[in-house]
Amino acid sequence: MTRKLSRADRLVHHFDAALRTLVPGAAPASRPSPATRDVRDGPMETEERRHAAGLMRIHHTGEVCAQALYQGQGLAVGLPERRGQVEAAARGQTNHLAWCYARLHELHDRTSRLTPFFYVASFGLGVAAGAAGHRVGLGAVAATEEQLGKLVDKQLERLPRGDQRSRAVLRQMRIDEAHHAQLALEAGAMRFPTPVKAGMSLVANAMAASAYRI
């Protein structure tokens, strides 16, 4: 028989999830990285490698934001089935978080110093979305996955030609984001109006610009 988790248990669980998200390399991947041994980089100059690392830092930060959003929702929602849907979405993003960190490590670079700030802000938004109801919460999942997919599309065009390993990671992430968004919509997600999506896009662009440099 499965023991029902108390509120204290859930708080401990979410604290553990936050640490796994924020501590570089602490989030384990359940799927192997698309950047397998068979995927090899072409020649890249030092500046190209630095640029590639900046782009992957953006995606690592984006995945941190997604994790925080879903973890905030998981804390706010009351019904176990609703909480399960949100936590399943968070688990799907854990692979992306681990893949991006591994690629940053390969490029001998670091994660964004602004990660804790973005985590806290996204967690707060997640709590608000979770408290707003089932359709709004799932709508936040769908809209977030859509924004992450658009970000991937944009950065794929900006990657140096020789960076094939980052390209392999981002292409699989793009497939996964579209799948996660579709699952949320099929589960009854609210389709956010265009002005809300435009606002999310502005925030995503601001995050990308800052995470690339800092």
Could you tell me the mean pLDDT of each successive run of 10 residues in the chain, 214 residues long? 55 65 72 83 89 91 85 66 58 81 90 89 83 79 84 87 91 86 80 84 86 89
177 is in an annotated binding site: yes
60 is in an annotated binding site: no
> 165: which 2 tokens?
């390993």
Q: Is residue 80 part of a domain?
A: yes
> 108: which 2 tokens?
């001998």
Counting the structural domains of the chain, the total is 1
Q: Is residue 104 part of a domain?
A: yes
Q: Is residue 186 part of a domain?
A: yes
The predicted pLDDT at position 1 comes to 43
> 95: which 2 tokens?
């692979």
Q: Is residue 17 part of a domain?
A: no
157 is in an annotated binding site: no
Q: What's the domain range around 179? A: 54-213
145 is in an annotated binding site: yes
Q: Is residue 49 part of a domain?
A: no
For residues 29 and 26, what is the distance between their CA atoms, to the nearest angstrom?
10
The predicted pLDDT at position 13 comes to 61
Residue corresponding to tokens 């997919």: 149
Q: How far is CA 135 from the centre of its chain?
A: 20
48 is in an annotated binding site: no
